[in-house]
Structure 1
Amino acid sequence: MGKPVNGSKGINPRQEWVLHVRRIRDDQDQAAFAELFRHFAPRVKAFLIKSGSDATTAEECAQEVMATLWHKAHLFDPSRATVATWVFTIARNKRIDVLRKQRRPEPEDLGWGPEAEPDQDDVVALQQETAQLRDALKALPEAQRQLIEKAYFGDLSHREIASQTGLPLGTIKSRIRLALDRLRHAMN
């Protein structure tokens, strides 16, 4: 997964992404956009998280980056950059805009551009682990699952969760500990 589907042989993925951007530019091709979105949105989100964004901000920025790709496909110039470089430049600029709005100084170590594509074996293993974790989360009792989601996906502290839910702090900690034990067991 991640590489564009192509009926014609001999076109490398970079050329295929360029053709997708052209299809978006010329025909507002939603299928081409969907492929680009599936490939780049998770990578952009991971890039933004790695550069210091919280998960929610990274998700919102990734959505904005992909919307920009849709609306500004006519600005892409394949002689100046690859599609990946263009997308990650948009992401970097969105990140800088967010930092400016928050009136924070730009981090010195803000990465520039995408990392190398992972090996296919690593991608498959990660997809399998993700599916296994998703199933393990679904199998948790509702009360535990909600607390895990708040703590790890909502990035809330135990105190914030207690304040939000009205549950005692000890109950929060116990349920999260039990849920993590169950998840560890399910992942092994």
Structure 2
Amino acid sequence: MLAAVGQSKDIEAFEALFRHYGPRVRAYMAKLARDNQAAEELMQETMLAVWNKAHQFDPARGSVSSWIFTIARNLRTDAYRKEKRPTFDPTDPAFVPDDVPPADVEFEGRQQADRLHRAMETLPSEQLELLKLAFFNEASHSTIAAKLGLPMGTVKSRIRLAFAKLRAALEDHT
């Protein structure tokens, strides 16, 4: 019967196989799954696999019954693994990045900030004022020039000089 299904997709031969093995596979699945609905679904999947793979059956390797029940067992194993596989939880603490940086990174950041503050204290007051306005108050160069009554070129050159002095002071500390 299985050979007829594999060679020519004989529907009558498959119906005979289904009537004979369907209830046996269902009972086997019910025993393994302990769930009649799951057993029915697994039996249907098994018989569908038998229909699709009938051409692969080799009588030299075993009996039809062994082949069909091997398919059934493998499908049950796959279903069991899927059912037992944990679902991905994006809120799991293992997957959520820490809000707090590691201590060494935080310490290094504090050291850099301290070096920057010490370097800023060495700047002339007019350069320091321009840096604060430009970077802490986020004022544009034209706004700073208008507010302080300075030419735009003077604002830019003082900021450039301040950067050069900060860069030199920070390079000395590394």
TM-score by length of 2: 0.47
Q: Larger radius of gyration, structure 1 or 2?
A: 2
Q: Which has the higher contact order (CA 8 A, sep 6+)?
A: 1
TM-score by length of 1: 0.44
